Amino acid sequence: MSQPQDVLTVKNLRVNFHTYAGDVKALDGVEFTVRKGEVLGLVGESGSGKSVTALTIEGLLPQNAEVLSGEVMLDGADLLKLKGSQLMTERLTGIAMVFQDPTTYLNPVLTVGSQITEILASAPKLFTKELISSRLDDLKKMEADKSALSPELQKEKGQLEALPADAKLSKREFNRLAKYYALDILHQVRLPEPERIFKSYPFELSGGMKQRAMIAMALARRPKLLLADEITTALDVTVQAQILKLLQLLKEEIDTSVILITHDLAVVAEVCDRVAVMYAGNIVELADVEELFKNPLHPYTQGLLASIPRPDATKLELTSIKGSVPNLISPPTGCRFHPRCPKAFDRCSKEKPPLVEFSPGHFVECFLYGG
Amino acid sequence: MSSTENKSVASGSSSRRDDIRHALHLFRQNPLVLVGLAISSVTLLISVLSPFLVNPALANDTHSLVKNCWNNPIISWGSNISTCPGAVHPLGTDAFGRDLLDMIVLAIPVDVRIALEVVLSALIIGIVFGATAAYAGGIIDEVILRITDIFLAVPGILLAIIFLFVFGRTFTVLTVAIVIIWWPTYVRLLRSQVLSEREKPYVEALRAMGAGRARILFRHIVPNSIYPLLVQATLDIGSVILTVSALTFIGLSPSDLLPELGNLASQGFGYFFQAPWEIIFPGLTILLISLGFNLLGDGIRDIFDPRLRR
């Protein structure tokens, strides 16, 4: 399943949460890959393990969680085995996470600008080169636009060009360049008046603007992978559309891979390249987005798609999947979906079906399709 | 975009002006805070300018006296007779014949200096130990808390008196003694704030960004938790002045002749029926200063906390 263009490979991930009522078996052998430059949608209902998967990748699981097995390979390094400063560097530049509710995930007493520049200043060595080249690009662009730079800017350009590749900037100079860099990023996430936003406190911005600021903070680090955990859930519908549009634009502009976690199939259809459907801690189906919507294989996916209300529907009642999500302290034996599955047979309750490739690129975890 | 960008990098003054306008607006809503601000500002102003406001000879004499009192216990001086408030001495003179108004003006910086030193030290100790206790948790938290318990259990004034007896009656000992009875409140206050603050989602976001523990704690959590401490500190400037005056009033002053509000009141106490002004005016000054800082403390949070600027 793993291929060279894969940025992230998750293998056989099993996570338990210890609680007083017993162990919650939250993830039960999750496997998927993210290719370079793609948007992978991770869909499923509440409690299916989407967010736990994200937190495991980020290494942010709470104290009572235990990773039983599995590996999370990001560009050849197993994130689950990293410790200390390596882990911090990987969090800084490897994976950036954007959270559900932008209101609570920004520090309320620092301005947006200082929150971005602070990330850069926390590891000057990692970002110096990026800052210099970004400022030089700006200056060159200005030069191209106006055909000549003012003497000061000309001088600045000369100085920056003269810097060696491994230059160490003074704190003042670093902060100055970091500010230009942050303004560029704010501009890139299509925030109006970046200068004003830079000086604003989070409470002075609307929900959509805050989410853009969060995305800017994530992008400032030039991550290999962006983890977007329900980023549109707390926003209203028109703003949702804008943020999704932005995500698509950015994906093309900066060539980063994205995992988009959502329970909204419409969002998936809109922005994702591939989709992984999760149910009760398993990935039950994984396919290209068109393939999945046209030809859903797993009974759960079929049920999900059938329960989307359609304007042309003739019957008045909404379709739903019978039953409810199982209690993961004592999950059903075999296939975790079998008690609700209309097509279940004997074997389903006895063995866990393997993930099989039914057609090229279309994986499914169900005995109906072999295994 | 770049040209406008450069302009804003250069200026950036508009938000400062907004801050001031916001502060003025708050004052208008709550005039008592304005009174507090006025009293505290005048107090601080007098503290800075006091040597220039009084009879130069008196200022000179007491200056060396005050200076000595930081290190040497007990100095004595000559005596004189007190006179009524009148044209020459607006508040009368004290038992040593010194102008009472001048003496009060000279006394304010002494008290304010001790108060500021105590409050700042307590604030720093509170931030360091409170934040460490809350963020580290476990045994470190337990140890720090039990130590604060010990200090909170002993009556503060009593502890200070013992301290002054053992180490001698100097201002240095007085300051240290009051810091020792003062810091536990700050540690507990900051600890409780940090405990609630560290569970907030933005802290999780910071960890996801690979920020280190110290950075998260001191750059993000502490600035979010510090506002109640700033309020407490402002209120405490008044309370420390009260405590200092109380200690010197009961006779723990380094010198009888010292211009210090509690000491002035204490000296006047002996002549309560013959020269009541000697105790009334220093007492009123103490009352006024404490009141001023208390009123200011009530409003200060609204001014500094950016979260409340809506």
Minimum distance, in Å, between the CA of residue B307 and any CA atom of chain A: 6
CB contact under 8 A, A107 and B220: yes
Residue B143 has pLDDT above 90, yes or no: yes
Q: Residue B67: pLDDT band by 50, 70, 90 thresholds?
A: low
ipTM of the predicted structure? 0.73
Cβ under 8 Å to B: A residues 137-156? 138, 141-142
Q: Residue B79: pLDDT band by 50, 70, 90 thresholds?
A: very low
With an 8 Å Cβ cutoff, is A109 touching chain B?
Answer: yes
Separation of alpha carbons A157 and A162, rounded Å: 8
The predicted-structure confidence for A289-329, as pLDDT tens digits, reads as follows: 999 999 999 999 998 888 888 777 677 777 788 888 888 88
The predicted-structure confidence for A224-267, as pLDDT tens digits, reads as follows: 889 988 888 878 888 888 888 888 888 888 878 899 998 888 88
The whole-number average pLDDT for the span B189-197 is: 90
pLDDT computed for residue B78 by the predictor: 41
In which element (H, E) is residue B180 found? helix B171-197
Which amino acid type is present at position B23?
Answer: A
pLDDT computed for residue A364 by the predictor: 92
Separation of alpha carbons B140 and A171, rounded Å: 34
CB contact under 8 A, B209 and A105: no
Provide the pairing of β-strand A77-78 with A95-98.
unpaired
The whole-number average pLDDT for the span B217-235 is: 87
Q: Residue B223: pLDDT band by 50, 70, 90 thresholds?
A: confident
Say if residues A68 and A18 touch (Cβ distance below 8 Å). no
pLDDT computed for residue B298 by the predictor: 76
Separation of alpha carbons B131 and B192, rounded Å: 9
Least confident of A144-148, B21-25, B82-86: B82-86
CB burial string A16-32: b at 16+ within 10 A, e below: bbeeeeeebbbbbbbbb
Say if residues B32 and B298 touch (Cβ distance below 8 Å). yes
Closest CA to A153 of A144, A143, A162: A143
pLDDT computed for residue A42 by the predictor: 93
Minimum distance, in Å, between the CA of residue A60 and any CA atom of chain B: 7
Cβ under 8 Å to A: B residues 176-205? 200-202, 204-205
Q: Phi/psi zone of residue B64: left (φ > 0), alpha (ψ -120 to 50 degrees), beta? A: alpha
A310 Cβ neighbours under 8 A, 6+ residues apart? none
Helix, strand or coil, per DSSP, at residue A365: coil
pLDDT computed for residue A260 by the predictor: 92
CA atoms within 13 A on the CB side of B205: 26
With an 8 Å Cβ cutoff, is B307 touching chain A?
Answer: yes
Phi/psi of residue A22, each to 5°? 135, 180
Cβ under 8 Å to B: A residues 233-292? none
CB contact under 8 A, B205 and A106: yes
In angstroms, how far is CA A265 from the centroid of its own chain?
16
For B222, nearest residue in chain A (alpha carbons): A109
Residues of chain A with pLDDT under 70: 1-4, 313, 371
Q: Residue B9: pLDDT band by 50, 70, 90 thresholds?
A: very low
With an 8 Å Cβ cutoff, is A110 touching chain B?
Answer: yes
Residue B3 has pLDDT above 50, yes or no: no
pLDDT computed for residue A264 by the predictor: 86
CB atoms within 10 A of CB B213: 11
Mean pLDDT across chain B: 80
With an 8 Å Cβ cutoff, is A127 touching chain B?
Answer: no
CB burial string B58-77: b at 16+ within 10 A, e below: bbebbeebbebbeeeeeeee
Residue B239 has pLDDT above 60, yes or no: yes
Please give the angle made by the CA atoms of A281, A74 and A211, to the nearest 5 degrees: 75
Minimum distance, in Å, between the CA of residue A329 and any CA atom of chain B: 26
A281 Cβ neighbours under 8 A, 6+ residues apart? A25, A26, A27, A28, A30, A48, A49, A52, A328, A331, A336
pLDDT computed for residue A141 by the predictor: 84
Q: Residue B134: pLDDT band by 50, 70, 90 thresholds?
A: confident
